[in-house]
Amino acid sequence: MKARVLVLIGIILGLVISTASAQEQPMGAGFAAKDAPSPYLLGVQPQDQTLVAGFATKAPVLDGKLDAGEWKEAARINFDGSDAIRPGVTGPDSNTIGGPNKDGFQSAEDSSVIVYVMNDANNLYIAVDATDDVLDFSMTDVWRNDSVEIRVDGNFSRRTAKEGTIWGHSIIIRGDGGAVGSAPAGDLASGAAVKPDGTGWIVEFRQSIAGFAPVIGFDLAINDRDTPGQDNRDGQYRWNGEVDAGWDNETQWGELTLAQVTAGLDSSKWELY
């Protein structure tokens, strides 16, 4: 208990000091988010990313193209791997093996994504619109190429070792649609294609939500390969997961609330006479 009080006093003192020093700074001086003290130092658990899916009135076509209006009902998030802060975490183990980008951080021009998430009564739909300055799909292992790992824990079991089935998987989809890895057996599908102007790639994914919990585990890992001849990718960053090993650990994934599907009668529309 004493220790807690001391920690609290420490936090309060820290706030007072940082407020005082902030007042001494010229307007707009600020500091980058990645320079802020780590929440771990204060003993606070980092907050998982959460998202509420949009409701899809029409199923998208999984062809690696975002047609006008196709994803307009989706919840939209965007992130890059420019720091270790959510969303878009680049962890200490996301460095390359012998590549030029050793700290793992990447600018938005190097790699960044806009992600669309929606569902209807039958399926979860996800689109990943990736910007990438150099495209490379030359490796046999799908995860070594420009690709996305889509992680879905449909029963929200949050197992420390993922189930490896439709109830907890991390499917890997290559950005050009040329290969898919770690796909569980079940009712799911994907499509992908390089953008016509060569500035990135688009992946579209669908999975049946039959039997899913109202809130499910969800994460995305973006793999960027830019260096020909290099064994590994140049980097990986994730919407929520802190470390690369999150591919196998459902507790590392964020939380997605599925859009409520209207069922039966809607009492607000009943006529009272």
Closest CA to 240 of 222, 266, 227, 264: 222
Pick the binder of Ca ion from 122, 131, 157, 257 (CB under 5 A).
157
- Restricted to residues 35-94, the positions that interact with Ca ion (CB under 5 A) are 61, 63, 65
226 near Ca ion (CB under 5 A): yes
CB of 259 to Ca ion, least distance (A): 19
C-alpha to C-alpha distance for 27 and 75, rounded to whole angstroms: 34
Query: Are the CB atoms for 170 and 130 separated by under 8 Å?
Result: no
Counting beta carbons within 10 angstroms of the beta carbon of residue 269, is it exposed (0 to 12), middle (13 to 18) or buried (19 or more)? Answer: exposed
Shortest distance in whole angstroms from residue 45 CB to Ca ion: 21
Site string for Ca ion, 1-40 (x = CB under 5 A): ----------------------------------------
- What contacts 55, CB < 8 A, 6 or more positions away? 73, 118, 119, 120, 259, 260, 261
Contact in structure between 187 and 207 (CB atoms under 8 Å): yes
Stretch that binds Ca ion, among 22-30, 73-81, 178-186, 223-231 (CB under 5 A): 223-231
- Amino acid at residue number 4: R
Binding status of residue 134 toward Ca ion by CB under 5 A: yes
**Closest approach of Ca ion to the CB of residue 65, in Å:** 5
Q: By CB under 5 A, tell whether 235 contacts Ca ion.
A: no
Binding mask 168-207 for Ca ion (x = CB under 5 A): x---------------------------------------
